[in-house]
Amino acid sequence: MGKKIRQTEAKKMKRINRNNIVLLIALILFSSCGNNALLNTYVDLPDEGWLSDVSYDFELEVEEAQDASLNYLIGLRNNNDYLYSNIFFFVQVEGSEGIVHQDTLQYLLAEPGGKWLGSGIGEIKHNLLIYKQQQSLLPGVYKFTISQGMRDDILAGIEDLGLLIEQSN
């Protein structure tokens, strides 16, 4: 009987070791995927909601010209308290030479039947929304300001807002 218990324990240890190796490989692969990002940052929004007069700033300092093609993506995490199938943003970019560009953007967050778009398990969905593609940057400091453009004074259901600037493939 004791020999059978030891064999069962040995099988469990092999399974645990195999699972740890698979987890380690997955972590290495996931961590190597983000190496081409110049900026990847998120801010937590208040639990009570995103106020219409509050904007969020993201800064990027470029030390040498980025001739590589860059993509700008807006990261958004929403939960089931979000009442709409779309979202509007006002985005202002102040470049290193002092020129300011403004854009009004609209993105779909749900299908017509109400199913949330994006990734995630459970109540919170994560979307990476394409803002601009194949951009280049000169040296200097860039300031990105993002405001919500919905008609609500308090926009409920938005968990996090982020900006990702990465090299395009």
Over residues 31-43, the pLDDT tens digits come to: 445 468 889 999 9
More reliable by pLDDT, 1 or 158? 158
> Which secondary-structure segment (H or E) carries 20?
helix 2-33
Per-residue three-class SS string for 62-87: ECCCEEEEEEEEEEEEECCCCCCCEE
Q: By C-alpha distance, which of 91, 127, 131 is closest to 109?
A: 127
Over residues 61-120, the pLDDT tens digits come to: 988 776 678 999 999 999 999 999 999 999 999 997 888 999 999 999 999 999 999 999
- Where do the domains of the chain lie? 1-33, 38-167
Residues 75 and 159 sit within 8 Å (Cβ to Cβ): no
Mean pLDDT throughout 134-163? Answer: 94
Query: pLDDT value at position 108?
Result: 97
More reliable by pLDDT, 7 or 22? 7
More reliable by pLDDT, 16 or 19? 16
Q: Domain 38-167 belongs to what topology?
A: Jelly Rolls (2.60.120)
**d(C-alpha 49, C-alpha 46), whole Å:** 5
Question: What is the amino acid identity at position 34?
Answer: G
